[in-house]
A and B are shown apart, each in its own frame.
Chain A
Amino acid sequence: MKIAKQAAVVGIGATPYYRRGESHPQTFNELICKAIINATEDAGLSVKDIDGFSYYSFGTDTGLLMESLGIPEVRYSSMVSGGGGGSVGAVQNAAMAVATGAANVVVVPFCMQQPTGKRYGSIMSQIDPTPDKAFFMAGGLVGPGHFFAMLAKRHMHQYGTRREAFCEVAMSTRENAITRPGARFQKALTKEEYFAGPMIADPLCRYDFCLENDIAGALIITSAERAKDLKQRPAYVLNGEQGGRREWGRSIAWMNMPDEYFASAGHASIAKHLYADVGITAADVDVALLYDHFSPMVVMQLEDYGFCARGEGGAFVEDGNIRFKGGSIPVNTHGGNLSEAYAVGITHMIEGVQQIRGTATNQVKDAEIALVTGGPASLPVSGLLLSR
């Protein structure tokens, strides 16, 4: 994408981070409206300035939001297909919309709210059977963790990756959450606790799984020109990329990826374009907000995004490289999906903006470029570079 720094994230907002199912009796749209109002106030804009919506992971109803918020006119409304893989692709779409003049102020809203009694962790048992899904449903794969466990297992086999690496992802992420207001887990996790945790889907134990939360969040994107006059330091959209390779394809729902893709996060092509378009490398990234639904997928994203060589993610992590304190590339400084909260990518985007503003709880000193990723998932997957 060749619109570097023509658009910026100028506002962020969210509801409190609730335990799953505990945001009721507030409604889904009510939560989204609250997040959008917060984000516009943060930006120093009026809700009525919004003239575009950019969604991901099934989105919501633009007309309904306009009714509740009194938004007079919308000139852009789009959604990235797929699920959490495309999360930051919605910011890319918003940036493209404002850079081309299709709209002036675009909001990226997201809400996750669980009905009582239904859990995202067993989502595959609740989806309607279809001919394509029969091939994996027959295998008794019920929750996302069951699928990703097989990628992790293969990575261990192929590259000698140890559970100690997954443990380090869980522990370092937990340490970052401790100081973060509103984080769901704020007690240090020890190696002993990790290894004593029940095995859910070998090699994934309890601490390798992300949380499940009720959260709405929103980002406001406008042109670089307009961003200059607003309340906050702009977090410029340096680049965005969405899509991926056929070899990754439907990934976990398909499992026919060749060797070099199977034990990966499916983001290698995303990384290549993200960096090459703007002439940077992984070494130029100051902080990485990597979608951490499962701890091994952090290890594999570090490889895809070139922070270490393919297969060396385990050792790289075990050497302390992703620590906020003293790491070569601080990862998930907000505590991530593993320890802060899970809401399909929106919390990583919010942290990315805070890091660029210089207002993060665990602020990486002089952070100039932040990488934010969408989930390793069926295509499209996505990546985003924010910069000062």
Chain B
Amino acid sequence: MSNEVFAKAPPDELFQLEVDTWTQPYWDAAKDHQLKLPKCGDCQQYCELGASHCRHCRSQNISWVEHSGSGKVYSFTIIRFPVIPSLQDSVPYVPAVIELDGVDGLKLISNVVDAPLSEIEIGSAVSLRWHDREDGVSLPRFTLAK
């Protein structure tokens, strides 16, 4: 038997999803469990998530390219203290910045879940794990890669 503490996840009620023209494709793809990233159809470089224009060439010809979700932990924190009461049953959880593989350093803010706290490190390889909420929103989360 191990006394290992595992990373939980923040509660669903914490945020309500709002979308606009430039983030809709991301969240629509998430419903189908596809992680899609914005890439410029003109200059072929990755764009900022949610931006209306390609920052490299100002094009609005943004296409959405599927990504495997493999990446590395760029940084993280372990939330141990419930700063608001609704977090009471969710600590400890691990917000993390995930640097996705092969996309010019593009990073996602997400969570590392279902992993022993002691094994989560900067540089740890992670893989995608979808979380489906009751309201129909799906969130990309990550767990330590096998």
Contact = CB atoms under 8 A, between A and B. Distances in A.
Contacts of A203: 77
A256 B19 contact: no
Interface residues of A, number: 38
A238 to B, nearest CB: 35
Contact of B74 (A132, A142, A154, A201): A154
Contacts of A142: 14, 79, 83-84, 87
B90 A146 contact: no
A258 B16 CA distance: 29
B95 A150 contact: yes
A140 B90 contact: yes
A129 interface: yes
A139 B111 contact: yes
Given A125-B84, A140-B90, A256-B106, A134 B78 contact: no
B77 A146 contact: yes
A145 B79 CA distance: 10
Given A129-B15, A134-B17, A137-B15, A154 B122 contact: yes
Contacts of A141: 95, 109
A359 B112 CA distance: 51
A145 B48 CA distance: 24
A293 B35 CA distance: 35
Contact of B93 (A129, A130, A140, A154): A140
A136 B111 CA distance: 10
A153 B14 contact: no
A131 B52 CA distance: 12
Interface residues of B, number: 43
A138 B139 contact: yes
Given A129-B16, A153-B76, A138 B83 contact: no
Contacts, number: 116
Given A139-B95, A256-B107, A146 B79 contact: yes
Given A131-B22, A150-B77, A139 B83 contact: no
A161 B124 CA distance: 20
Nearest to B19: A131
Contacts of B49: 135
Query: Which of B49, B79, B96 has the largest count of A CB atoms less than 10 A from its CB?
Result: B79
Interface string B4-18: 000001110011111
A131 B97 contact: no
B109 to A, nearest CB: 5
B60 interface: no
A200 interface: yes
A121 interface: yes
Contacts of A138: 15, 17, 109-110, 139
A139 B109 contact: yes
B75 A201 contact: no
B83 A135 contact: no
Contact of A154 (B48, B75, B90, B109): B75
Given A154-B122, A256-B107, A143 B95 contact: no
A73 interface: no
Given A131-B19, A131-B20, A135-B50, A140 B79 contact: yes
A256 B83 CA distance: 25
Given A135-B49, A142-B83, A200-B81, A151 B90 contact: no
A318 to B, nearest CB: 22
A281 interface: no
Given A130-B18, A131-B20, A134-B18, A255 B84 contact: no
B108 A137 contact: no
Contact of B75 (A130, A134, A151): A151
B42 to A, nearest CB: 20
A156 to B, nearest CB: 9
A146 B95 contact: yes
Contacts of A204: 77
23 contacts: A121-B83, A132-B50, A134-B15, A135-B49, A137-B14, A138-B15, A140-B10, A140-B79, A140-B93, A142-B14, A142-B87, A143-B83, A146-B77, A146-B83, A150-B76, A150-B96, A150-B97, A154-B122, A157-B122, A157-B123, A200-B79, A201-B78, A204-B77
The 5 closest A-B pairs by CB, nearest first: A140-B10, A137-B15, A149-B77, A202-B78, A154-B75
Given A201-B79, A262-B75, 16 more contacts: A119-B83, A121-B83, A122-B84, A131-B19, A131-B50, A135-B108, A137-B14, A140-B87, A141-B109, A143-B83, A150-B96, A153-B77, A157-B122, A200-B81, A202-B78, A256-B106
Interface of B: 9-11, 14-20, 22-23, 27, 48-50, 74-81, 83-84, 86-87, 90, 93, 95-97, 105-111, 122-123, 139
Interface of A: 119, 121-122, 125, 129-143, 145-146, 149-151, 153-154, 157, 198-204, 255-256, 258, 262
